[in-house]
Amino acid sequence: MSSKIRLVLSAFVAFVFYFSWTYWANSLVTNDLAVILRSALVQGTLSGSVTILFTFALERAVNRFGQHSVSLVFVVPILCSVYAKTRQNIAIFKTFSHALNQSAAVMHSTRIPGTLLAPLIPIAMQGSLALGANLINQTPNLWLTILPSIIFSAIYGYVYTFTLLNKREILDSVR
């Protein structure tokens, strides 16, 4: 199956699922069919559209961060270098530098893989869009409407990320 067909099929499934979910979730709190249908159309359309954008952003993030690791120990030297102009600040910088070099040697294996960070950008985008659109729409049962969308997007994001990286490893091993 081509990536375009897979993407359109995913968007269609997202629309149908979230339309149905939102219809049910909001029928629990109101009997106004117009409000229920409007909320279901908003969330279904948003979920279908965001699935396309989410997948595009995820592929970009995986290409950018997927094979890298991020160590959080680099922050202090950057901050110290800004202030390393006087003799006292140079001594502080050298002390921090020595301490960080020692801790980096010990903590080398505790880096955070980029694979774990790559889906966070699309997940944050999707969550913000879902929250904003449903706030504007005045969806009656807001959190029950959008929370499954955010949770399943996160699961989808990580599964898709690992799938992309596995395909890339297979292609690299063939070459």
* pTM flag (> 0.75): no
Structure-model confidence comparison of residues 173 and 28, the more confident one: 28
Q: What is the pLDDT of residues 19-49, one digit of tens each?
A: 999 999 999 998 999 999 999 999 899 889 9
Structure-model confidence comparison of residues 87 and 13, the more confident one: 13
Q: What's the alpha-carbon Rg for the chain, to the nearest Å?
A: 23
Q: What angle do CA 149, 152, 154 make, to 5 degrees?
A: 105
Strand 69-70 versus strand 112-113 pairing type: antiparallel
Place of tokens 């219809």: 23
